[in-house]
Amino acid sequence: MTTTAQIAQKGVLVDLTRCIGCRGCQVACKSWNERSVKKTINRGEYTNPQKLNSDTYTRIEFLEGAFGQAPAWHFIKDQCMHCKDPACASACPVGAFKKLPNGPVTYDFDKCIGCRYCMIACPFQVPKYEWEKRIFPWVRKCTFCSDRIAENLIPACIKVCPTKTMFYGDRDAVVAEAQKRLADNPGKYVNHIYGKEEAGGTSWMYISSVPFEQLGFNMKIPAKNLPDNTWAMLREIPVKVVGFVTVLSLIAIFRNRGNGHNAESKHKEEN
Amino acid sequence: MTNHFIDFKNADVILVMGSNPASNHPVSMKWILKAMEERGAKLIVVDPRFTQTAAKANVYAPMRSGTDIPFLGGMIKYILDNNLYFREYVVKYTNASVLVNPDFKGPGELNGLFSGYDEKTRKYDKKTWSFQMDENGIPKKDPTLKDPHCVYQLLKKHYSRYTIDKVSSITGTPKEKLEEVYKLYASTGKPNRVGTELYAMGWTQHTIGTQNIRTMTIIQLLLGNMGMAGGGINALRGESNVQGSTDQGLLFNTLTGYLATPSGSLVDLKSYIEKYTPKTKEPKSVNWWSNRAKYITSYLKAIYGGRATKDNDFGYAWLPKLDEGMNASWLNLFDQMLKGKFEGFFAWGQNPACSSANSNKTRQALAKLKWMVNVNLFDNETGSFWKGPGMNPKDVQTEVFLLPCASSVEKEGSLANSGRWVQWRYKAIDPIGQSKPDADIANELYYRVKTLYQKEGGKFPAPILNLTWNYGQKDALGKIHEVNVHNVAKEINGYYLEDVYDKTATPPKLLGKKGELCATFVHLQADGTTSCGNWIYCQSYTQKEGKIINMMARRGKGDPTGLGLYPEWSWAWPVNRRIIYNRASVDPDGKPWDPKRAVIKWDAVKEDPVSKKPGMWVGDVPDGPAPPMATEKGKLPFIMMTNGVGGLFGPGLADGPFPEHYEALECPLEENMLSKQRINPTIKLFGDKADAFFSCDMRYPFVATTYRVSEHWQTGVMTRHEPWLLEMQPQMFVEMSEELAKEKSIQNGEKVMVKSGRGELWAIAIVTSRFKPFKIGGSTVHQVGLPWHFGWQYPVDGSGGDSANLLTPTVGDANTMIPESKAFMVNVVKVAGGRT
Comparing CA positions, the residue from B556, B442, B441, B552 lying closest to residue B493 is B552
How many Cβ pairs within 8 Å bridge chains A and B?
109
Per-residue pLDDT at A5 exceeds 70:
no
In angstroms, the CA B300 to CA B542 distance is: 20
Q: What pLDDT, on a 0 to 100 scale, did the predictor assign at position A243?
A: 60
- Alpha-carbon distances of B728 from A263, B69, B722, B724, rounded to whole Å: 14, 35, 10, 7
Q: So what's the pLDDT on residue A249?
A: 62
Give yes or no for a cis peptide into B773 (omega within 30° of 0): no
* Calpha distance A72→A63 (Å, rounded): 8
The share of chain B scoring above pLDDT 70, in percent, equals 100
Query: B258: how many CB neighbours lie within 10 A of its CB?
Result: 17
A72-94: average pLDDT? 96
Contact call for B30 and A163, based on CB within 8 A:
yes
Which of A236-245, B187-196, B359-368 is predicted least confidently? A236-245
How do the domains of chain B map onto residue ranges?
Answer: 5-239, 571-619, 689-830
Q: Given this model, what pLDDT does residue A1 score?
A: 41
Residue B173 CA to residue B614 CA, distance in Å, equals 55
Residues B235-292: tens digit of each pLDDT: 999 888 999 999 999 999 999 999 999 999 999 999 999 999 999 999 999 999 999 9
User: How does residue A259 score in pLDDT terms, banded at 50, 70 and 90?
Assistant: very low
Yes or no: say if B791 and B380 are a contact pair by the CB < 8 Å rule: yes
pLDDT digits (tens, 9 = 90+) for A114-131: 999 999 999 999 999 998
Domain B689-830 is of which CATH architecture?
Answer: Beta Barrel (2.40)
What is the number of domains present in chain A? 1
pLDDT at A236: 52
Distance CA B337, CA B351 (A): 16
Residues B423, B425, B427: CA angle, nearest 5 degrees: 175
> What's the CA gap between B626 and B622, in Å, rounded?
9
- Averaged pLDDT for residues B637-649: 97
Q: How far apart are the C-alpha atoms of B557 and B565, rounded to whole Å?
A: 10
Residues 6+ apart with CB under 8 A from A129: A54, A114, A116, A119, A137, A138, A139, A140, A248, A252
Mean pLDDT of chain B: 97
Task: Give the one of A30, A43, A64 whose C-beta lies nearest to B749's C-beta.
Answer: A43
**Rounded average pLDDT over B136-152:** 97
Rounded to an integer, the average pLDDT of A95-114 is 95
Q: What percent of chain A has pLDDT over 90?
A: 73
Residue with the bigger pLDDT between B88 and A229: it is B88
User: In chain B, which residues have their Cβ closer than 8 Å to the Cβ of A75?
Assistant: 52, 55
Sign of the dihedral defined by the CA atoms of residues B664, B669, B672, B678, in that order: positive
Domain with A196 in it? 1-271
Residue A69 is predicted with a pLDDT of: 67
Q: What is the pLDDT of residues B20-30, one digit of tens each?
A: 999 999 999 99
Query: Distance (Å) from the C-alpha of residue A270 to the closest C-alpha of chain B?
Result: 17
How sure is the predictor about A136, in pLDDT bands with cuts at 50, 70 and 90?
Answer: confident
Closest to B711 in 3D by CA, of A155, A30, A143: A30
Is the pLDDT at B90 greater than 80, yes or no? yes
Does A53 reach chain B within 8 Å, measured CB to CB?
no
Q: Which of B163, B164, B171 is nearest to B48 (CA)?
A: B171
Mean pLDDT value of segment A75-97: 96
Say which residues have a Cβ less than 8 Å from residue B548's Cβ, sequence separation at least 6.
B517, B541, B542
pLDDT at A270: 38
A18·B33 Cβ contact <8 A: yes
DSSP assignment string, B760-777: EEEEEEEEETTS--EEET
Dihedral, B553, B558, B563, B569 alpha carbons, nearest 10 = 0
- The per-residue pLDDT for range B696-726, each reduced to its tens digit, is 999 999 999 999 999 999 999 999 999 999 9
pLDDT over threshold 50, residue A258: no
Q: CB of B197 within 8 Å of any CB in chain A?
A: no
pLDDT of B751 reads 97
Q: How many residues does chain B have?
A: 836
Q: What is the pLDDT of residues B339-386, one digit of tens each?
A: 999 999 999 999 999 999 999 999 999 999 999 999 999 999 999 999
Burial of A233 by CB count in 10 Å (0-12 exposed, 13-18 middle, 19+ buried)?
Answer: middle
Confidence band of A3 (pLDDT split at 50, 70, 90): very low
Nearest-Cα distance to chain A for B200, in Å, is: 18
Contact (CB<8Å) B26/A20:
yes
A93 shares contact with chain B (CB less than 8 Å): no
Subunit contact A41:B799, Cβ cutoff 8 A: yes
Q: Residues of A with CB below 8 A from B55's CB?
A: 20-21, 72-75
Adjacent-strand bridge partners of B480: B474
Of the pLDDT bands very low, low, confident and very high (cuts 50, 70, 90), residue A261 is very low
pLDDT at B497: 98
Q: Which pLDDT band, with edges at 50, 70 and 90, does A266 fall under?
A: very low
Q: Residue B660: pLDDT above 70?
A: yes
pLDDT given at position A268: 36
User: Chain B within 8 Å of A209 (Cβ-Cβ)?
Assistant: no
Summarised one tens digit per residue, pLDDT across range A30-41 is 999 999 999 999
The whole-angstrom separation of Cα B34 and Cα B55 is: 16
Q: A261 and chain B: CB distance < 8 Å anywhere?
A: no
Determine the distance in angstroms separating the CA of A185 from the nearest CA of chain B, rounded to an integer. 10
Nearest to A20 among B52, B711, B730 (CB): B52
Out of 3.40.228.10, 2.60.220.10, 3.40.50.2000, 3.40.50.970, the CATH code matching B5-239 is 3.40.228.10
CA angle B140, B144, B145 (to 5 degrees): 70
Query: What CATH number is attached to the domain comprising A183?
Result: 3.30.70.20
